Chains A and B, each alone.
Chain A
């Protein structure tokens, strides 16, 4: 079953706490992404990973880091979360071909209080 799975789906954290968002895919896709979605701003790319330990900054990487130790798993980490990181975070994956449209997960809604 072709699916991108995100955990958790909802998360509430206090400012200054560390946050770990997990993403998995069962398609052996080489490329994985983290986006955040905000009203009026659309989907903004935080990080892209081309394969294990091959990660690259997107457009808004500040305040975030990522980890990809297995092809099927891609984590987004917020060290000392800030209130402006309250958002909906989407993970996506695609085959190693720039002609392929990424497949998205259902998102994680993060609130930082």
Chain B
């Protein structure tokens, strides 16, 4: 069945360094779409990015990601980490192209001064 893998449970960075959070997926569908959610402590998880077409970059709030069907990946990147980026990040895939979202296990990003 459809699945999402986030290999890093915790990423610790110094402010100003680039961010890359990994997300790979498995699905039988030829044109999947994926989401990145960000979850700040004591807030609601909220949508950060949604994938576009194959090899097309999408951007929001300084973050960007590109869907690569050839490698089944949708990694989240940012050129320069800020303290306020410290949060839990989830990659998610609509299962069977339906309404049930499958979430990865999440990556906690901790940005130090």
Q: Does A25 sit within 8 A of B, measured CB to CB? A: no
Q: Does B78 contact A (CB under 8 A)?
A: no
Q: Collect the chain A residues with CB atoms within 8 Å of residue B35's CB.
A: 101
The residues of A that contact B37 with a CB separation of less than 8 Å are 101, 104
The A-B contact count (CB < 8 A) is 52
Interface-facing stretch out of B13-21, B68-76, B79-87, B99-107? B99-107
Asked if B62 lies at the interface with its beta carbon under 8 angstroms from chain A, I say no
B46: interface (CB < 8 Å): yes
Chain A min CB distance to B78 (Å): 20
Q: How far, in Å, is A11 (CB) from chain B's closest CB?
A: 16
User: Chain A: which residue is nearest B97 at the CB level?
Assistant: A98
Tally B residues with Cβ within 8 Å of A: 25
CB of B9 within 8 A of CB of A40, answer yes
Is A43 a contact partner of B100 (Cβ separation < 8 A)?
A: no
Chain A residues numbered 1-59 whose CB sits less than 8 Å from any CB in chain B: 4, 31, 33, 35, 40-45, 48, 50, 58
Residues on B with beta carbons closer than 8 Å to the beta carbon of A101: 35, 37, 47, 50, 92
Decide if B98 touches A98 in the complex (CB within 8 Å).
Answer: yes
B98 touching A104 by the CB < 8 A rule? no
Whether B33 and A42, one on each chain, are in contact in the complex, defined by CB atoms closer than 8 angstroms, is: no
Assess A42 versus B50: contact at CB under 8 Å? Given A94-B99, A104-B45.
no
Provide the residues of chain B in CB contact with A48, threshold 8 Å.
Answer: 99-100
Structural contact, B101 and A102, CB atoms closer than 8 A: yes
Residues of B within 8 A of A (CB): 6, 9, 33, 35, 37, 42-47, 50, 90, 92, 94, 97-106
Q: List 29 A-B contacts (CB under 8 A).
A: A31-B99, A35-B103, A40-B9, A40-B105, A41-B105, A42-B103, A42-B104, A42-B105, A42-B106, A43-B90, A43-B92, A43-B106, A45-B100, A45-B101, A50-B99, A90-B45, A94-B99, A98-B97, A101-B37, A101-B92, A103-B44, A103-B46, A103-B47, A104-B37, A104-B44, A104-B46, A105-B44, A106-B42, A106-B44
Name the 7 nearest CB pairs between A and B, nearest first: A42-B105, A43-B103, A104-B44, A101-B47, A104-B45, A42-B106, A42-B103
